[in-house]
Amino acid sequence: MENIDEKLILNLNRKLALAIKELRQFQCGEFTVDLQIAHYTTNSGAFSTDWHHHEYYELAHVVDGIMDYSIGNGGVFFHSMNADKPGWLLIPAKLAHARSVASGESTVFSIVLRIISKKSDILSRFDQILRTKAYLLKNGESLKWLGLMNNELGHDLALRSEFLGNIMEMMVLELFRASFAEFFLPQGSLYSKELLPEMISAYIDEHLNSNLTLDSLAIRYRVSPRHLNRIFSRHFGIPLGQYLIRQRLKLCAHQLLNTDKQIKEIASDCGFKHQGYFIRQFLKHFSYLPSEYRQRG
């Protein structure tokens, strides 16, 4: 992500704000995590912040240029974040820090987090381990999620806001699991039973014209097809395959009433590769043939 001008930064931050306009809270391992704010910030050369601290954790990733961070009273830890060598910095709550840009222009992507635990000693132990690792986190698969997030930010569809929020949530989980598995890796699936169906639902709604199957989605989210179908059915009340057909039919019905496209073209655009199968499913769901549905308005 290079040459990020002020107008683009404002647009990206507007979309990120919409994606988490309501507090996103998720449980992972020993912790409850609040995803509160995410934003891009660009600073030019000879810039530096004052030393400061806050009540939340700050997760920082430099996406363009070089940005220097000093952390701890008197600059106990210093690290130069370089976009050519991707990495993440996690700054604990209440710990003094400052950042600076020596020359050129740098852009940082930051996420504001609140991390709590019902166990009184668990957060102290987490912070202690974090300090021994000098605040640098392993990338894990986080860069994959960051790339996916940036791709989604390039679209203007309003329905992508929920999906963006899910992506950011998974990015945080991947980072913490890579560096602090003893705290953040729950038993069982890599993804929580509550989050996974919602993530897949959002992904399906935005990729209805793709070749989606139970097996392909199971591979994408690294769970067995049987487990995926079971938790999806429990969450939505219908199997994943039926949900996929229902959403495609809804989109077809919308296009029949709001476009002049031929019925065959609509079916193909919505993921139905066989005309006969599409007509049978449409008749079963709406009790009308597609042509009759369009005529009735």
Give the C-alpha separation, 173 to 23, whole Å: 16
Give the C-alpha separation, 172 to 59, whole Å: 9
Segment 220-257, tens digit of pLDDT: 776 778 888 888 898 899 999 999 999 999 999 999 99
Identify the three-state secondary structure at position 206: helix
DSSP 129-185: HHHHTTTEE--TTHHHHHHHHHHHHT---TTHHHHHHHHHHHHHHHHHHHH-HHHH-
Q: Residue 258 is which amino acid?
A: N
The domain ranges of the chain are: 6-186, 188-297
| Domains 6-186 and 188-297 agree in fold | no
Give the C-alpha separation, 226 to 230, whole Å: 6
CATH topology of domain 6-186: Jelly Rolls (2.60.120)
Segment 44-75, tens digit of pLDDT: 988 999 999 999 999 999 999 999 999 987 66
Give the C-alpha separation, 252 to 207, whole Å: 14
Q: Residue 292 is which amino acid?
A: E
**Average pLDDT of every residue of the chain:** 84
Percent of the chain with pLDDT over 70: 90
Overall average pLDDT of the 119-141 stretch:
83
Percent of the chain with pLDDT over 90: 35
CATH topology of domain 188-297: Arc Repressor Mutant, subunit A (1.10.10)
H-helix or E-strand containing 228?
A: helix 225-236
C-alpha distances (whole Å) from 66 to each of 43, 81, 107, 146, 224 are: 10, 6, 8, 18, 42
Give the C-alpha separation, 216 to 127, whole Å: 39
pLDDT of residue 267: 92
Give the C-alpha separation, 209 to 207, whole Å: 6
